[in-house]
Each structure stands twice: as C-alpha cells, then as structure tokens.
Amino acid sequence: MDKKWKIIYYETEKGDSPVFNFINGLELKARTKVSNALDLLKEFGTKLGLPHSKKLIGTQLWELRILGSNGIRILYIAMIGKNFLLIHGFQKKKQKAEIKEIKIAEKRLREYKMRQK
C-alpha cells in the first residue's frame, strides 16, 4: 500500500510558521474543516482535485479549498518524496484568488528554495 503524503509547514528563517499560526487563529469549527481537508490531501495527494484542490494556472502553486468555511484557502506545492509544503493561508474575499496572496506565497517559496541550497 502506498504511504500517505506528508504535510510540511513553511517556516520563516526565524522559525515562525505563518500557515500554522493562521490555522490556529481560526475558530474551532473552521480549524476542524481545515484538518479534514488536510486529511483528504494526505490521503489522495495530487489526485485530490476539485472541489477540494486546484492548480493555480501560471504558477507552481495549488490551492486547498476549505469547503463551507467562508473562503479559507491554503496555498501549497507538491514536493519530491510525497510531501506537501503549505506556504500561505488566507480568507478569500473575491471570486478569483487574490493576486496579493499568490505573490506572498511565491515570495515564501523562493525564500524556502534558497534556504534549501
């Protein structure tokens, strides 16, 4: 049987985890929904698909969509070795993923890759 995917939280150089902090700052009901969505991601990996997950066109990023949660989104990438790196969490306020949020995630991803060299 294939092993499940593993979740890794992006950390800043100082060791802070913005995504972990974002999730912990949510109300209990929303945190439970996030936990359930992460369980689905670990189980199904890159095959999860809509309505739970979708690739953001023109980027390396995927968007985990927390259903029934006032637009909670977590941006992530799939990595070698069945790992997902959770990069940025936010509450979506508009129909399209906000460009500002994508830029934050892309900046964090660049920083992460630089530290891995």
For residue 74, what is the domain's CATH number? 3.30.2310.20
Domain count, the chain: 1
Give me 46's structure tokens. 């890159």
Give me 38's structure tokens. 């992460």
DSSP string, 48-93: --TTTEEE-TTSS-EEEE-TTSSSEEEEEEEETTTEEEEEEEEE--
Does 54 reside within a domain?
yes
Burial of 66 from C-beta contacts in 10 A (0-12 / 13-18 / 19+): buried
Does 1 reside within a domain?
no
| pLDDT computed for residue 97 by the predictor | 59
- 32, 102 Cβ separation under 8 angstroms: no
Domain of residue 85: give its range. Answer: 6-115
Q: What is the pTM of this model?
A: 0.91
Task: Read off the pLDDT of residues 37-58 as tens digits, 9 standing for 90 and up.
Answer: 999 999 999 999 999 999 998 9
